[in-house]
Amino acid sequence: MHDPGTQGGAGQALSPMQLVTDRRIAAMLGLGFSSGLPFMLVYVTQSAWLSEAKVPIATIGLMSELTLAYKFKFLWAPFLDRYDAPLLGRLLGRRRGWIVASQVGVMLALAGVAFGDPEHWLAWTVAFSLALGFAGATQDVVIDGWRITVAPTERQALMSSWAEIGWRVGNLATGAGALYLADTVGWRAAYLCMAALMAPGMIAALLAPEPESDRAASHDRPGFVATVAAPIRELMTRLGPMAVPILLMVAGFRMPGYVSSAMAMPLFKSLDYANADIATVTKLFGFWVALGGTFLASFVVPRIGMMASLLVGTIAGSASHLSLAYLAAHGGGFWTFALAVSVDNFAYAFASIVLITYMSSLTATEHAASQYALLTSLCAFPGSVLAGLSGFAIEHLGFERFFVATSLIGLPVAILCYAVLRMQAGRRTEPAA
């Protein structure tokens, strides 16, 4: 069990040889890759297929709701902490068993989507896309649970960074890669290739070390209510008086980013940037810039501490939207565009790793998957709701003032982060009763 009030001190950095030989890091890279595959294929990439199949735009928009499994995964995550996967649990342990089971589910769902025909039988595509979203969200839950339980707190920033690298590579494969394959060999073959790409993640799960906690996992069978309530009750009890400010901070931390990202693409199109330039900047440049932010976070967190990193992350993440405000106000050529987007991507990647590491530190070993799923849903939900109103805000404010406003949203979050830092410092200096 981790104490969020004291963790985050400097840990020993891994040597280059340890980076190569540590099975946890190699497995994390592969698992991160498989985690990055399903989400884009549930909706974003699939929307291109649906458009070609002449599916009405309103229907395509409604199909974005198929990603809701990622927002509500905390509802079934407690059962993944408490129950073994059928057959695989005995062979691989609780968490690795569920990882492989969810990966098989992703592969079967992708194959189901591949053999569909959205132009003539959309219900088939909807059903298998819904299954794909559920399997992908489940995979995320159990991979996060494995990551948190297999490595100590001081290694979580490093583990999160390698998971993020793998995720971004997988996301690139299902974005640009799947579209390229669709143009070359057709959508059915593209989706079957994406199913085959789950193999490296499955191999990583089979070769990954088993968490120590899995070897002594409880096999009791509590009731439905007890299973769902136990992780929440344990988290609130352990955090005590700090629970409300900490959870508010988690809920608000990514809110500016969610709201801003919803209107980034409309901004680029309003400035008449070509699709090729947008793809080059956001996908190719963005990939490497985000990796830089990821590695910087893994370097900074162990050295300045968790709470200080959170404060830096929320300030940098919010302030970076000013680069988009500048772009909205002045426009500019390709390199101005690239610089503005790179500043935003770098800060976003840095803040993401800091938040992932912090949320990991808040979980208890026995409830790692369920509590982390709850925290990520809490983090995503408020920003997602506000993002839905961003178009109305643009109509009243314009792009420039909108992005300035999203930067200002981060100000109360930064103040709350500083307050939590001070409160936790005060608790540590209080004399023992």
Higher pLDDT, 4 or 385: 385
Beta bridge pairs of residue 194: none
Place of tokens 């059915």: 188
What does the block give as tokens for 379?
A: 């983090």
Joined together, the tokens standing for residue 292 give: 């830089």
- Is residue 91 over pLDDT 80? yes
Using CA atoms, how far apart are residues 46 and 191, in angstroms rounded to an integer?
9
pLDDT beyond 70 at 21: no
Tokens of 24: 């946890």
Angle between helices 243-253 and 390-429 (to 10 degrees): 140
Q: What is the pLDDT of residues 212-223, one digit of tens each?
A: 776 665 656 666
Helix residue ranges per DSSP H, 23-93: 23-35, 38-42, 44-52, 57-62, 68-71, 77-82, 88-92
Query: Would you tell me the crossing angle of helices 94-114 and 122-150 to the nearest 10 degrees?
Result: 160
Of 171 and 204, more confident: 204
Using N-to-C axis directions, what is the helix angle for 23-35 and 122-150, rounded to 10°?
160
pLDDT at 416 over 50: yes
pLDDT score at 130? 92
Q: Which two tokens stand for residue 29?
A: 């890279």
Interval 242-253: pLDDT, tens: 888 899 999 888
Name the β-bridge partners of 117.
121
**Three-state DSSP class for residue 37:** coil
pLDDT band at 59 (very low <50, low <70, confident <90, very high): confident
What domains, with CATH codes, occur in the chain? 19-221 (1.20.1250.20), 223-433 (1.20.1250.20)
Does 204 have pLDDT greater than 70? yes
Within 10 A of 325 (CB to CB), how many other CB atoms are there?
21
Highest-pLDDT range among 9-13, 31-35, 159-163: 31-35
Q: Is the pLDDT of residue 10 over 60?
A: no
Q: Is the pLDDT of residue 326 over 50?
A: yes
Sequence-ordered list of residues with C-beta below 8 angstroms from that of 83, at least 6 positions apart, any chain: 89, 94, 221
Mean pLDDT value of segment 358-364: 87
User: Residue 278 pLDDT > 80, yes or no?
Assistant: no
Q: What is the mean pLDDT of residues 322-333?
A: 90
Cβ-based neighbour number of residue 278 at 10 Å: 17
| First and final C-alpha spacing in the chain | 23
Q: Cα angle at 202 between 196 and 207, to 5 degrees?
A: 145
Q: Name the band, by pLDDT with cuts 50, 70 and 90, for residue 270.
A: confident
Q: Could you tell me if 325 and 400 are in contact, meaning their C-beta atoms sit under 8 angstroms apart? A: yes
Contacts of 68 by beta carbon, 8 Å cutoff, 6+ apart:
133
State how far the Cα of 37 lies from the Cα of 170, in Å rounded to an integer.
Answer: 5
Q: Coil, strand, or helix at residue 164? A: helix
Rounded Cα distance, 365 and 170, in Å:
28
CB-based contacts of 47, cutoff 8 Å, min separation 6: 60, 63
**Quick one: DSSP state of residue 117?**
B
Structure confidence at residue 188 (pLDDT): 93
